[in-house]
Amino acid sequence: MASFVLAASLGGCDFFDKGDPPPSVTGRGVGEDCSSASDCRTGLVCDMDRMSCQPAGTAPEGGVCQLTGDCGPDLYCAADRTCSPAGDADEGARCGSTADCLPGLSCVLRGFYAECRPAGTGDIGELCENGADCLAGLSCIPDPINDRSQCLSPPAAEPGTQLPPAIPSWSGVECPEDVDETVSYFEVPRFDETDGDFYRLPFPNDVRRTASGLDLRGHPTPDTAVDVDIIDRYLRASEEDLAGFSTNPVVYFRFSEPYDWDTVGGAIRFVDVDPDSPDFGRGVGFAWLTTFGPITNYICEDWLGVRTGHGAPLRPDTTYAVVLTRDLQPSADVGGTYARDADLDAMLGASAPGDATLAAAWEKYAPLRDYLAGAEELSADQVLNATVFTTQPATPMARLREAVHAAELPAASELTACGAGVTSPCDDGTPQRSCEGADGQPYTEIHGRLSLPIFQGGRPPYATPEDGGAFEWVDGQPRVQRTEEVCFALTVPEGSAPAEGWPLLVA
């Protein structure tokens, strides 16, 4: 799926997102009333039975087309804008491109896969949300000048090109301008219309931890781009399955105005503030990423990223703080200083705020307040912004590892040494699972099966939330749901093995 999405995105970017205004179209379009061919735009005829403009449907193979309807029987309008032989995949069948589908069907994204579906009715110049809205042969092409998408005949690709279904564009999170003051954002979410963008509260942040997991409401997702919001599924699963944040985090801070990059390094403090940690009060090695302007669809511009060093994860189930001091300054063209957000003032105050939402957040910032009370080189007055977050416990993964090591070794079965005329026990008709090509190699290729424990419940491949996929824990130990016979291949070099045996590489 990842390779398919990458190909789709690259294909859509290369061929569709040119940023040019659409060409003007004169004459009536498909389905509009007519009394003669002169009423219709070039390429259409006036169908006297229906008294409407329609594609002629007479172009031969290799003929120029805009719509699949321009082409004769069993042809479709291909990416090179010529009539080409159509596929035989019927409605609902999976496809790699519209070339796989019967005429009149388009290959469009449906969840994790692409399927042949009836084309839409949108003619040239009509607004669309995705390719399924347009007549067969047209594409839904973004018009960045007017902030919309239209059904258009795309530029001709090279002959033989088969474009994968284009992923609909998503403009990203809304980023309203804040012109009131120059501020380093710290806004505790109220989950109402007053909330700004998600990252106006530094993230990760224990304010978003709950008694049962995490609360990631408000995080932007491309919910309008595809019919299955994969990002939202990950967010909802994270809320259920996680009790803390990554041990290799990137910490995000947002600002209303650009900052001076030269003031960043000396303004960051990354410290263990967990009173139960053996490293309480110690600094953590870090790196940072400075940004300017729009970078991603998920976070508004003017953000700073802070991360741990490579190969230096944080301790599991431990509370940390990342602090920005007032040494961080706005860029020279902005001038002045950053104001500290009022919600952070409340977090650092000596007593709980009267507002219930802020009071709950104030409790989460107790480790930072306690640390600052005893710190010699940093005071609350020096703090411009700060996040407090607790890392995810590693116990569940350790328990899974222990369960695997405690189980009996899986027995290998159907061991088969590949050779000429030998059929692999894993042969499914594809070269990847056959003994094809094993002859003449400087090794012996062995195929077989192993019975492996499966800890995930539900129905594989767990494509929907309803299919499950969760672990079941009994007295703190993972329960094996079933076993599954899986294929494996092993290659053993020719010649005598070294005294310590051949090294094993698992790929």
Residue 14: predicted pLDDT: 34
Which string of DSSP letters, residue by residue, matches 145-169? TTTEEEEE-PPP--TT--PPPPPPP
Neighbours of 374 (CB within 10 A): 8
> Torsions phi, psi of 207, nearest 5?
-60, -25
Q: Exposed, middle or buried, 442 (CB in 10 Å: 0-12/13-18/19+)?
A: exposed
- Alpha carbon of 8 to those of 136, 165, 167, 200: distances in Å? 18, 6, 6, 32
Could you give the CA distance from residue 238 to residue 390 in angstroms, rounded to a whole number?
Answer: 15
Could you give the CA distance from residue 192 to residue 451 in angstroms, rounded to a whole number?
Answer: 51
pLDDT in tens, 196-241: 899 999 999 999 999 999 999 999 998 766 678 889 999 999 999 9
Using DSSP's 3-state secondary structure scheme, residue 286 falls into: strand
Residue type, 92: G
The β-bridge partners of 152 are 139
**Stretches in the chain below the pLDDT threshold 70:** 1-25, 168, 179, 224-226, 507
Using DSSP's 3-state secondary structure scheme, residue 412 falls into: strand
The β-bridge partners of 258 are none
Residue 12: predicted pLDDT: 35
Could you give the CA distance from residue 74 to residue 280 in angstroms, rounded to a whole number?
Answer: 72
Angle at 115 between CA 140 and CA 5, to 5 degrees: 65
Could you give the CA distance from residue 184 to residue 303 in angstroms, rounded to a whole number?
Answer: 10
Residue 149: predicted pLDDT: 87
Could you give the CA distance from residue 336 to residue 329 in angstroms, rounded to a whole number?
Answer: 8
Could you give the CA distance from residue 362 to residue 156 in angstroms, rounded to a whole number?
Answer: 59
The β-bridge partners of 454 are 482
> Torsions phi, psi of 346, nearest 5?
-65, -35
Q: For the chain, first and last CA: distance in Å? A: 20
Which residues, 6+ apart, have CB-to-CB distance to 428 below 8 Å?
none
Could you give the CA distance from residue 298 to residue 172 in angstroms, rounded to a whole number?
Answer: 6
DSSP H or E stretch at residue 417: strand 412-417
Residue 132: predicted pLDDT: 85
Could you give the CA distance from residue 270 to residue 308 in angstroms, rounded to a whole number?
Answer: 9
Q: pTM for this structure? A: 0.76
